[in-house]
C-alpha cells in the first residue's frame, strides 16, 4: 500500500528524540556515581576503579559521591529521585535486595524505581573456622552442629548484613541450628573465630585471605555459585553437598527507572568495555572480585529474584524487620 511522504516524516519524528538523546549522551555534564557506603569500602574501591576507566573511554568527568547511612538506603533514594538522564548512577551491592525485606518502610520502590545496568563483580564470602576445629569438610562442621543442638554459634558483621543472610541461608539449607553473634565488622569477628570463641563465619574473602594463607583460619567453602578465583581448591557450599545454599554478593550499577533504554545500553557497553580492560581486571582480581557477566535484562531479573528470595528467607529464619 502506498504511504504518503507525510507518514514517513511523522514516523521519523517519533524516533528522532530517543536517538538524539542517545547520541547526545554524554555531554559536558559530569556523571555522578553515588556509592551508599563509606570511602574505602569494597563497593567504593570497585566503583572508582571501573569508572576511572569509563571516564577515560568517554572523555567525560565522573565524580564518585559517598552518600552513607541507613543501610545504603540514603544513597539509593538520592538516585531514585534524580533526573533519569544517565548522569546520576548508583553503585550498590547485593544488600540492595535485602533492605526491602528488612526495612518496614523505604522511601522508594526497589523494583519500580530502578533500572539495572550491569554487575561489576561478584565478591565471594568464604566459610571459615578456627584451625583448632580440625574439620575436614563443611559436612563435618554441619554434623558436629547437628550432634550438639543449641551449642553452635556464628559471627556476622551485624544484623541484616550479607554475612548474616548468608549464614541463615546456609543454616536452612543444611538443616542445623546456630546462635547469631553480631559484631561491628569483619576484624572483630575474625579475632573471635581465630580464638575459637565463635564457631563459624561467612566472611568476605579479602579480609580473611591473609589469615587463611598463614594458617590461622580454615576455609571450608565459598558461598558463591562458582568457586572463587583466589581459592580455586575450595568448593562452593553447593559442591560441598548443600543444595540451595549459594549466596552471591555482587556489586553493580543501577540508575533511575525512567532513564531511556538507549542511554542504559550505552552505559552498559561502556562499563563492559572498562571491565575488560587489563588494568581494571588486574585491580579487581587483587580484591578477590570475580567477573559476573550479565546483560542488563539478566541483572534486572536477578535483582527481582533476590528480593523475593530474601523476603522468603526473612520469614523462614525469623529475622527481625526494622
N-to-C CA span, the chain: 63
For residues 77 and 130, membership in a common domain is answered with no
For residues 107 and 33, membership in a common domain is answered with yes
Find the mean pLDDT for residues 207-233: 94
231 within a domain of the structure (yes/no): no
pLDDT-based confidence at 190, cuts 50/70/90?
A: very high
pLDDT for the residue 162: 87
For residues 143 and 216, membership in a common domain is answered with yes
109 within a domain of the structure (yes/no): yes
Look at the chain and report how many structural domains it folds into.
Answer: 2
pLDDT for the residue 152: 96
pLDDT for the residue 7: 44
pLDDT for the residue 26: 87
For residues 103 and 146, membership in a common domain is answered with no
Find the mean pLDDT for residues 280-291: 93
For residues 302 and 160, membership in a common domain is answered with no
61 within a domain of the structure (yes/no): yes
What are the b/e assignments for 18-47, b being 16+ CB within 10 Å? eeeebeebbeeeebbbbbbbeeebbbbbbb
How far apart are the C-alpha atoms of 190 and 142, rounded to whole Å?
A: 20
User: 106 lies in which domain range?
Assistant: 29-123+249-317
Instruction: State residue 154 phi and psi, 5-degree precision.
Output: -145, 150
- Domain stop point among 205, 222, 239: 222
Q: Count the neighbouring beta carbons within 10 Å of the beta carbon of residue 184.
A: 9
166 within a domain of the structure (yes/no): yes
For residues 119 and 140, membership in a common domain is answered with no
Q: Which residue has the cell 527481582?
A: 304
For residues 117 and 253, membership in a common domain is answered with yes
Q: Count the neighbouring beta carbons within 10 Å of the beta carbon of residue 293.
A: 11
Find the mean pLDDT for residues 290-301: 96
pLDDT-based confidence at 219, cuts 50/70/90?
A: very high
pLDDT-based confidence at 161, cuts 50/70/90?
A: confident
53 within a domain of the structure (yes/no): yes
11 within a domain of the structure (yes/no): no
Is 164 or 3 the better-scoring residue by pLDDT? 164
Q: Is residue 322 predicted with pLDDT exceeding 80?
A: no
Which tens digits make up the pLDDT trace of 254-285? 999 999 999 999 999 999 999 999 999 999 99
The domain that holds 146 is classified in CATH as 3.40.190.10
Q: Is residue 107 predicted with pLDDT exceeding 50?
A: yes
Is 213 or 27 the better-scoring residue by pLDDT? 213
For residues 62 and 202, membership in a common domain is answered with no
Contact at 8 Å (CB) between 75 and 36? yes
Pairing of strands 31-35, 88-93: parallel
User: Of the candidates 108, 171, 116, 111, which has an alpha carbon nearest to the alpha carbon of residue 145?
Assistant: 171
How far apart are the C-alpha atoms of 305 and 269, rounded to whole Å?
A: 24
Q: Is residue 221 predicted with pLDDT exceeding 70?
A: yes
pLDDT for the residue 307: 96
pLDDT-based confidence at 139, cuts 50/70/90?
A: very high
How far apart are the C-alpha atoms of 117 and 263, rounded to whole Å?
A: 10
pTM for this one? 0.86
pLDDT-based confidence at 96, cuts 50/70/90?
A: very high
For residues 117 and 133, membership in a common domain is answered with no
Which tens digits make up the pLDDT trace of 45-71? 999 999 999 999 999 999 999 999 888
For residues 309 and 165, membership in a common domain is answered with no
> Residue 2 class from Cβ within 10 Å (0-12 exposed, 13-18 middle, 19+ buried)?
exposed
Which tens digits make up the pLDDT trace of 108-138? 999 999 999 999 999 999 999 999 999 999 9
- Domain stop point among 204, 222, 240: 222
How far apart are the C-alpha atoms of 11 and 8, rounded to whole Å?
A: 5
> Residue 298 class from Cβ within 10 Å (0-12 exposed, 13-18 middle, 19+ buried)?
middle
205 within a domain of the structure (yes/no): yes
- Domain stop point among 222, 241, 271: 222
For residues 218 and 140, membership in a common domain is answered with yes
237 within a domain of the structure (yes/no): no
pLDDT for the residue 2: 42
Find the mean pLDDT for residues 204-220: 93
CB within 8 Å of 150: residues ≥ 6 apart: 177, 179
For residues 108 and 255, membership in a common domain is answered with yes
Which tens digits make up the pLDDT trace of 8-52? 344 444 444 444 444 578 887 899 999 999 898 889 999 999 999
Question: Residue 109 corresponds to which cell in the numbers above?
Answer: 520502590
Contact at 8 Å (CB) between 176 and 199? no
pLDDT for the residue 12: 42
Element (H, E) at 51: helix 42-58
The domain that holds 93 is classified in CATH as 3.40.190.150
> Residue 155 class from Cβ within 10 Å (0-12 exposed, 13-18 middle, 19+ buried)?
buried
Amino acid at each position: 500500500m502506498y504511504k504518503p511522504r507525510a507518514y514517513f516524516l511523522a514516523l521519523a519524528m517519533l524516533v528522532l528524540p530517543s536517538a538524539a538523546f542517545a547520541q547526545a549522551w554524554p555531554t559536558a555534564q559530569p556523571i555522578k556515581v553515588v556509592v551508599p557506603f563509606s570511602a574505602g569500602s569494597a563497593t567504593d574501591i570497585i566503583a572508582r576503579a571501573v569508572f576511572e576507566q569509563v571516564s577515560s573511554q568517554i572523555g567525560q568527568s565522573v565524580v564518585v559521591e559517598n552518600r552513607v547511612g541507613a543501610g545504603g538506603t540514603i544513597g539509593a533514594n538520592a538516585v531514585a529521585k534524580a533526573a533519569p538522564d544517565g548522569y546520576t548512577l548508583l553503585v550498590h551491592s547485593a544488600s540492595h535486595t535485602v533492605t526491602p525485606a528488612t526495612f518496614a518502610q523505604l522511601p522508594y520502590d526497589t523494583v519500580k524505581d530502578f533500572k539495572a545496568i550491569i554487575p561489576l563483580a561478584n565478591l565471594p564470602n568464604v566459610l571459615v573456622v578456627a584451625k583448632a576445629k580440625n574439620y575436614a569438610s563443611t559436612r563435618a562442621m554441619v554434623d558436629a552442629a547437628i550432634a550438639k543442638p543449641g551449642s553452635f554459634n556464628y559471627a556476622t558483621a551485624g544484623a541484616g548484613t550479607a554475612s548474616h543472610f548468608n549464614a541463615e541461608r546456609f543454616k536452612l539449607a543444611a538443616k542445623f541450628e546456630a546462635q547469631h553473634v553480631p559484631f561491628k565488622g569483619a576484624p572483630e569477628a575474625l579475632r573471635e573465630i581465630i580464638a575459637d570463641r565463635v564457631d563459624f563465619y561467612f566472611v568476605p574473602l579479602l579480609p580473611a585471605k591473609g589469615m587463611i594463607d598463614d594458617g590461622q583460619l580454615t576455609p571450608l567453602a565459598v558461598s558463591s555459585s562458582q568457586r572463587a578465583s583466589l581459592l580455586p581448591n575450595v568448593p562452593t557450599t553447593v559442591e560441598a553437598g548443600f543444595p540451595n545454599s549459594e549466596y552471591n554478593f555482587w556489586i553493580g550499577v543501577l540508575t533511575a527507572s525512567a532513564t531511556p533504554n538507549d542511554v542504559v545500553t550505552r552505559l552498559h557497553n561502556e562499563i563492559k568495555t572498562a571491565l575488560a580492560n587489563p588494568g581494571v581486571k588486574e585491580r579487581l582480581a587483587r580484591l578477590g572480585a570475580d567477573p559476573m557477566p550479565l546483560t542488563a535484562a539478566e541483572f534486572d531479573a536477578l535483582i527481582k529474584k533476590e528480593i523475593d528470595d530474601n523476603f522468603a528467607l526473612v520469614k523462614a529464619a525469623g529475622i527481625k524487620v526494622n
